[in-house]
Amino acid sequence: MKAFQSFGTMGVLLLSASFVCAQGIAQTNVGRIPGMEQKEALRVNDHIYQATGFGNTYMVKTSEGNVIIDTAMGFFAPRHYALLRKVSEAPVKFIIITHCHPDHIAGIRRWRGPETKVIAHERFQELRDYQTMLGGLFERRNAAQYGIPRPLVRASAEEVRRPEYGADITFEKTHSFKLGELTFEIHYTPGETQDQLAIWIPELKAAFIGDNMYETFPNMYTLRGTEFRSPKPWLASLEKVRSWEPEVVLGSHLLPISGKEECAKQLTRYIDAIRFIHDKTVEGMNQGKDVWTLMNEIKLPPEISLPETYGRLTWSIRGIYEGYVGFFDEKIPTMYPVPASAVHKDLFELAGGASPLIERAQKLATDQPVKSLHLLDIVLDVDPSQVEARKIRVQCYHRLLDQAVNVIEQGWLRDGILQEEKAIKQSSTAGKNP
């Protein structure tokens, strides 16, 4: 069996603000980024080769030309192209895109030749349009979540919106073709996205599953925002792949999983974990439990536990809860456009001003940093000039960062620290220049 790729290590790519510099890369952490030290493409078998990165690229060789599966994010695309072209310089007949995320499509232009056809699911363009519609929101959130400067996020998004990143062939449920000695069966397998597809090559017993499986618990809800990632279709998709009885499973963020028994074992564990979280959430909803109770109560049994370095159980539970029934929590104030923060000024005054709230927040900062942050929100909503409150907020963020194993959580905490330190600096400058 080949080992899973470490998502914790891969997260360095996403979260290091030093990794991006204009159109280039600051080399501080490159030794820790998967694929950066890869000298040769990984040979899976006589036909399949993998270039590793945040978003793997696969080349499938046939006697009549090559097929490329996913094309990586912009930074990795030239490297992946060079590694795989060392394996074969035969024409690329098809590019198959497992879904519309940028770390899968950004290299399309590099691989597309005069006769190359790009294949994607029929919802591919719809999902691209969704990302364009909310471009301002995603630009802001991706910059925060991944530690990437906003101008680069914007430039990358604008690039992959161009027509040459579109698909030539789309399908609804299945599409297949034969190239040389191999058959490519492409199936609609919604999961992490609603345009996700999987590829089955029966001659090789090989299944390519895109982002429907990681070494970690899946990102059933991502903090940058997403449409509802419904667990039931996701489960059906994974069960379909398992029914093929693959002997090698290839994911966009995995090293190959090899061996029929190992593939079945890993797929089954993933299926069982998603089903458990889904069923327990639905059960709790029907019992009248609120989302916060379920986020604290539901845990995976040890036999199907998965690391939470990418997806988190709590976010997934809330995503399922609100994905099924929306925002209303059966509490009357929620019906009205008056947030809980509307009473912050009242609480501030009842507490006797900022000092008592700041004092209590400081006491909570080490052992209960999230509670501390709630108190600090009251202070700073009423009086944003309270520098001491901002310093304690930074302290809380650092405390949470020390405990965090999830790369997305780490990204938001680092961004929070950065924003608060900027605000503190601005307050200090304003104090010196009245």
291-342 residue pLDDT tens? 999 999 999 999 999 999 999 999 999 999 999 999 999 999 999 999 999 9
> Helices 260-286 & 231-243, crossing angle to 10 degrees?
160
Which residues make up the CATH 3.60.15.30 domain(s) of the chain? Answer: 7-277
pLDDT at position 431: 63
Q: Which of 152-161, 296-305, 319-328, 365-374 has the lowest mean pLDDT?
A: 152-161
Write down how long the chain is.
434
Q: Which residues contact 426 (CB under 8 A, 6 or more apart)?
A: none
Report the mean per-residue pLDDT for the chain. 91
Q: Which run of H or of E encompasses 59?
A: strand 57-62
- Predicted confidence band of residue 11 (pLDDT cuts 50, 70, 90): very low
pLDDT at position 159: 85
- Predicted confidence band of residue 158 (pLDDT cuts 50, 70, 90): confident
Q: Which fold has domain 7-277?
A: Metallo-beta-lactamase; Chain A (3.60.15)
Residue 58 · residue 8 · CB < 8 Å: no
Average pLDDT estimate for 402-418: 96
Look at residue 325 and give its three-state secondary structure. Answer: helix
Please name which of 377, 327, 330, 321 lies closest in space to residue 354, comparing C-alpha atoms: 377
- Predicted confidence band of residue 35 (pLDDT cuts 50, 70, 90): confident
Could you tell me where the beta strands, DSSP code E, fall in 81-173?
A: 92-96, 117-121, 169-171
The phi and psi torsions of 23 (rounded to 5 degrees) equal -95, 5
Q: How many CA atoms lie within 13 A of 174 on its CB side?
A: 7
pLDDT in tens, 87-138: 999 999 999 999 999 899 999 999 999 999 999 999 999 999 999 999 999 9
Determine the Cα–Cα distance for residues 121 and 30; give it in Å rounded to an integer.
Answer: 34
For residue 314, count CB atoms less than 10 angstroms from its CB and return exposed for 0-12, middle for 13-18, buried for 19 or more.
middle
Determine the Cα–Cα distance for residues 41 and 79; give it in Å rounded to an integer.
Answer: 10
